Amino acid sequence: MKHLTLPLMLLVCVGIPACNDNDCITCPVCPGDSCAATHQLTITHDGLQREYILYVPASYTGDEPVPLLLNFHALGSNAQQQMAFGDFRPIADREGFLVAHPQGTQSESEPPLNFWNVSTEGVDDVGFTAAIIDSIAADYSVDRKRVYAAGMSNGGTFSHHLAGLLSDEVAAIASVSGTMTPPMVVASNPVHPTPVMHIHGTEDPLVPYDGRPPFLPVATQLEYWFEYNNCDPTPITTQLPDIYPDNGITVEHIVHEDGDNGVNVEHLKIIGGTHAWPRMVGEVGSDVDASEEIWQFLSRYNIDGVLG
The pLDDT tens digits of the residues spanning 157-202 come to: 999 999 999 999 999 999 999 999 999 999 999 999 999 999 999 9
In a domain, 18, yes or no: no
In a domain, 16, yes or no: no
In a domain, 229, yes or no: yes
In a domain, 26, yes or no: no
Quote the CA–CA distance of 239 and 251 in Å, as a whole number: 6
Q: Tens digit of pLDDT for each residue in 36-72?
A: 999 999 999 999 999 999 999 999 999 999 999 999 9
Domain coverage including residue 52: 35-306
In a domain, 24, yes or no: no
In a domain, 3, yes or no: no
In a domain, 148, yes or no: yes
pLDDT at 283: 58
Among 150, 181, 173, residue whose Cα is nearest residue 82: 150
Q: Tens digit of pLDDT for each residue in 67-125?
A: 999 999 999 999 999 999 999 999 999 999 999 999 999 999 999 999 999 999 999 99
The CATH code of the domain that includes 93 is: 3.40.50.1820
In a domain, 238, yes or no: yes
Residue 284 has pLDDT above 90, yes or no: no
Quote the CA–CA distance of 21 and 243 in Å, as a whole number: 42
Residues 118, 73, 41, 65: is their CA dihedral positive or negative? negative
SS3 label, residue 14: coil
Burial label, 157 (beta-carbon count in 10 A; 0-12, 13-18, 19+): buried
State the total domains in the chain: 1
